[in-house]
Amino acid sequence: MKQRSNFGSKIGAILVAAGSAVGLGNIWRFPTEAGNNGGGAFLIIYIICVLAVCIPLLLAEFLIGRHSHANTGSAYKILSPNKHWGFIGKIEVCGAFLILSYYSVVAGWTLFYMVQSLLNQFNSMAKHSGSEQIFSDNFNNFVSNPWQPLLCLAAFLLITHFVIVKGVKGGIEKSAKLLMPFLFVLLVVLMVCSLSTQGAAKGLEFLLAPDFSKINSKVVMAAMAQSFYSMSLGMGCMCTYASYFSDRTDITKTALTVGVIDTLVAVMAGVVIFPAVFSVAGLSPDAGPSLVFIALPNVFQMALGGIPVLAYVCSLAFYILLVVATLTSTISLHEVITAFLSETRNMSRKRAAALVTAGCLVLGTLCSLSMGVLADFKIAGMSIFDLFDYVTAKLMLLAAGFFTSIFTGWVLQQKIIKYELTNGGMLKFRWFKLLIFLLRFVVPVAIALVFLDGIGILSIF
């Protein structure tokens, strides 16, 4: 058997997994969801979802990956007693391919905005009256332009490709060890700047003050779906990474640390965004692209405009932060498919990576053009971009997560689970019964509810 690569250190294992988890989801979705859905109350529900649903599933992905020492596409088949369960891995690899294709489009946008920040273009845009319209035009003109976003998409995919080709240790682990601490430093600097604006108290209140009256079943579903996406579950990223963990890595500790880092970064992103937003009169917190690409570039200039250097530095730091967070996530998605192709189709890693990059470029181009030239082309009422998001985040990811929990809780031999959680008896694991209970009952039911909610069935009742 071919010798597989390993991550060289325990901290490397934590950082790559955290790198996958921390991404656009933390920065443009979590803060607004929390703010609009009860602040601290949402956070409490979110943390419960992380502990009761995401950590057990993360452990399941980790132990499947490490025990099989194989790519996700093969791992389930190797561990499945009757080989039927291999389909989970196949869904995950296909899902990762689709997610990477549309995620890279947005990744390209972050690159474009980083360059605009670098050239200090936002400063002059903010000087005009009616600057909101100017920023909105800036974004809409860019995404509907036929070639600019495509160039950015290609650039981002090439950077990801370059890291993947450098290998598991020299590319993925090294980049995570460099980028994750950098990301943390950027976040802290940005937090300090944002908290020095006059909207600090109001922003923190919006993000954190608990309002339990806003909590209903819809909010619980939203928290669960968000935690799931944010922890990169259901697409084989964590399973593939775990196949490179060493035998000495404590997967329980790693899973808990990743959960803490991911949640912390999401909250910190909120502490960066809302104080600044609330210090500009008349702005209301939005989510998604319009928050990050329309409101925020303006907000940084207005909130910190008194000291132009500070506005410049913060704006640049924020878009570098987005690029870094996104890059460590695209790397993890790319690796899922590259590892699968190179290990099952008997091709070199380089060649497999080139195929993945080329494939994503083609699908990503379609997604990107669906914001402009192809805007009128709709499938089931959705643009290609939205369709990719819907099919992956609302269907495939949840299906794979559901079957992973069923497979681990009901099918997989328990001695394998025990072996992996204790590193063959070297570590203590006191929560075995609880974990099995969660994987057998709580996780599948929770995911099924989110699934039914996502396709609109729950709202009938």
**In this chain, which stretch among 58-66, 227-235, 242-250, 444-452 interacts with ligand TRP, using CB under 6 A?**
227-235
Q: For residue 382, what is the DSSP state?
A: B
Collapsing DSSP to helix, strand or coil, 379 comes out as strand
Q: Considering only CA atoms, which of 299, 295, 301, 307 is closest in space to residue 280?
A: 299
180 binds ligand TRP (CB under 6 A): no
CB of 332 to ligand TRP, least distance (A): 5
Per CB under 6 A, contacts with ligand TRP among 90-119 are 99
227 makes contact with ligand TRP (CB under 6 A)? no
Q: Is 194 in the site for ligand TRP (CB under 6 A)?
A: no
Segment interacting with ligand TRP (CB under 6 A) among 156-164, 229-237, 239-247, 337-345 = 229-237
Say how many residues touch ligand TRP, by CB under 6 A: 17
For the chain, the maximum distance between any two Cα atoms, rounded to a whole number of angstroms, is: 67
Regarding 365 and contact with ligand TRP (CB under 6 A), the answer is no
Q: Is 400 in the site for ligand TRP (CB under 6 A)?
A: no
Q: Angle of helix 414-421 relative to helix 55-68, nearest 10 degrees? A: 100
- Contact partners, residue 440, CB within 8 Å, separation at least 6: 405, 406, 409, 410
Helices (H), 50-118: 55-68, 72-79, 86-118
- Establish if 23 lies at the interface with ligand TRP (CB under 6 A): yes
Give the integer Cα–Cα distance in Å for 316 and 314.
5
Question: Whose CA is closest to 61, among 393, 461, 403, 414?
Answer: 403
Residues 1-20 that bind ligand TRP (CB under 6 A): 20
Please report how close the Cβ of residue 108 comes to ligand TRP at its closest, in angstroms: 15
Q: How far apart are CA 75 and CA 223, in angstroms?
A: 29
Kindly tell me which residue out of 19, 25, 171, 297 binds ligand TRP, with binding defined by CB under 6 A. Answer: 25
Minimum Å gap between C-beta 263 and ligand TRP is 11
Q: What letter does residue 458 receive in the DSSP assignment?
A: G
Amino acid at 392: T
Q: Which of 24, 164, 291, 412 binds ligand TRP (CB under 6 A)?
A: 24
**To the nearest whole angstrom, how small is the minimum distance from the Cβ of residue 269 to ligand TRP?**
11
Q: How many residues does the chain have?
A: 461
* Helix then strand then coil, % of the chain, to nearest 5: 80, 0, 20
Please, what is the minimum distance in Å from the beta carbon of residue 99 to ligand TRP? 6
Dihedral sign for Cα atoms in the order 26, 31, 37, 41: positive
- The least CB distance from residue 57 to ligand TRP, in Å, is 11
Closest approach of ligand TRP to the CB of residue 319, in Å: 16
Listed residue (389, 342, 381) closest to 363, CA to CA = 389
Q: Does 232 bind ligand TRP (CB under 6 A)?
A: yes
Q: Please identify, among the stretches 22-30, 185-193, 342-350, 408-416, the one whose residues bind ligand TRP according to the rule CB under 6 A.
A: 22-30
Q: Considering the complex, state which of residue 104 and residue 332 has its C-beta at the smaller distance from ligand TRP.
A: 332
Give residues 313-342 in contact with ligand TRP (rule: CB under 6 A). 329, 332-333
- Distance of alpha carbon 332 from alpha carbon 351, whole angstroms: 17
Residue 196 — φ and ψ, nearest 5°?
Answer: -85, -5
Burial classification of residue 247, based on how many CB atoms lie within 10 Å of its CB (0-12 exposed, 13-18 middle, 19 or more buried): exposed
Whole-number minimum distance, CB 173 to ligand TRP, in Å? 17
- Least distance in angstroms from the C-beta of 385 to ligand TRP: 16
Indicate whether 237 belongs to the interface with ligand TRP (CB under 6 A).
Answer: yes
Structure tokens at 209: 């003050």
Q: Which stretch binds ligand TRP (CB under 6 A): 3-11, 200-208, 226-234, 275-283?
A: 226-234
Q: Which is nearer to ligand TRP, 98 or 369 (CB)?
A: 98
Residue, CB closest to ligand TRP: 23
CB of 30 to ligand TRP, least distance (A): 8
Task: Dihedral sign for Cα 82, 404, 2, 351, please.
Answer: positive
User: Does residue 135 bind ligand TRP (CB under 6 A)?
Assistant: no
Give the tokens for residue 147.
């070639």
Which C-beta is closer to ligand TRP: that of 335 or that of 453?
Answer: 335
Contacts of 202 (CB under 8 A, 6+ apart): 274, 275, 278, 279
**Per rule CB under 6 A, is residue 235 in the interface with ligand TRP?**
yes
Using CB under 6 A as the criterion, which residues of the chain lie in contact with ligand TRP when the complex forms? 20-21, 23-26, 99, 229-230, 232, 234-235, 237, 329, 332-333, 397
